[in-house]
Structure 1
Amino acid sequence: MRRRFVIEAVMVATYGHLLVPSRPVDYVVPYSTIAELYDMKDGADPVMEDPSDDKHVKEKIGELIAFFEDPLNRKKIERALQVPWRESSPLLLNDKIQFTIVHALDNAQYGELFDPIETEVLLAGMKLDTPILSDQIEFQERLIEAEIPVLIYDIDDFEFAVEEGVEPDEFQQHRDL
């Protein structure tokens, strides 16, 4: 069974270990985070502090953009973008990794506590009953403080989340508590 995680596209490019999971995974990616990849790849601001790391990550971002621009993948994404909260058909990267693009929409419900991308990530996690995978400690802390009913894993706990993480039926039980 594939483990599902809501994640920003750039994190997949930034953290190489996410591309070699021990079990099959489905990365649910809000579309707006794919659009953000273009700015990060071509922008003057570094993604990483170390210049060689920054160059490497920008190359990986370029590869991820090329994957999403593949004609078949592009067609699947465009279909999902026709209706709010629609999920794309799976975009297969390899036998262990697939992406599902969701046409997430920000709403004002959490606008004061979270930026638009964070809001789309947390709403996707809530609406799809899917754990979130993030490297942003402040975001994780704000989710906890605001008592948002989502499960979040830190990127450093990725292997645990894949191997030992909460099953989908258990996830719903946690939300109902």
Structure 2
Amino acid sequence: MRRRFVIEAVMVATYGQLLVPSRPVDFVLPYSTVLELYDMKESAEPVMDDPEEDKHVKLKIAELISFFEDPLNRKKIERALQMPWRESSPLLLNDIIQFTIVHGIDNAQYGEYFDPIETELLLTAMKLDIPLLSDQFEFQDRLIEAEVPVQVYDIEDYEFAVEEGLSPAEWETMRDL
């Protein structure tokens, strides 16, 4: 069975280990995070502090953009964009990794605590009832503080999340404590 995670598209480009999981994975990406890739590619602002790492990550961003612009993938994405909260058909990177693009619509439900991208990430995780992967400690802390009912894994715990993770029943039990 494929493990599903909501994640920002740039994290897939930034963290290479995400693309070599021990089990099949479906990365669910809000479309707004895919659009962010274009901004990052065009921007003079570095994505990473180290110039060599920045160059490498920008190359990976360009590769990911090319993948999404492949005619078959683009067609799947365009279909998903026809309705709010619609999921694309799977975009297959290889036998183990697939992407699902979600046409999330930001709403103000959590606007006081989170920016629009963060809001789409957490709403996508809530709506689809799947965990969120993040490398941002402040974001994770705000999720806990705001008592948002979303299971979140730090990127450093990715392999645990893929291998063992928490079942929905275990997550509900922990959330009720």
Establish whether TM, by shorter chain, passes 0.5.
yes
Percentage of identical aligned residues: 79
Give the letter aligned to residue 126 of structure 2. Answer: M
Give the letter aligned to residue 141 of structure 2. Answer: E
Shift of the 112–23 alpha-carbon distance from structure 1 to 2, 3 Å rule, reads: same
Give the letter aligned to residue 152 of structure 2. Answer: I
Mapped partners of 1:84, 1:90: distance in 2: 17
Q: Say whether 1:137 aligns with 2:131.
A: no
Give the letter aligned to residue 164 of structure 1. Answer: E
TM-score (norm 1): 0.96
What is the deviation of 1:168?
4.3
> Which SS does the other structure have where 2:23 is aligned?
coil
What is the deviation of 1:169?
5.1
Structure 2's unaligned 5+ residue stretches are none
State the aligned residue count: 177
Mapped partners of 1:30, 1:18: distance in 2: 17
- Calculate the aligned-residue CA RMSD, in Å: 1.3
What is the deviation of 1:174?
5.2
- Would the aligned equivalents of 1:129 and 1:172 in 2 still touch at CA under 8 Å? no
Mapped partners of 1:127, 1:165: distance in 2: 19
Runs of 4+ in 1 over 3 A off after TM superposition: 168-177
Mapped partners of 2:170, 2:87: distance in 1: 22
TM-score (norm 2): 0.96
Structure 1's unaligned 5+ residue stretches are none
Match of 2:24 in 1: 24
What is the deviation of 1:112?
1.1
CA displacement 1:75-102 (0-9 Å, x = unmatched): 0000000000000000000000000000
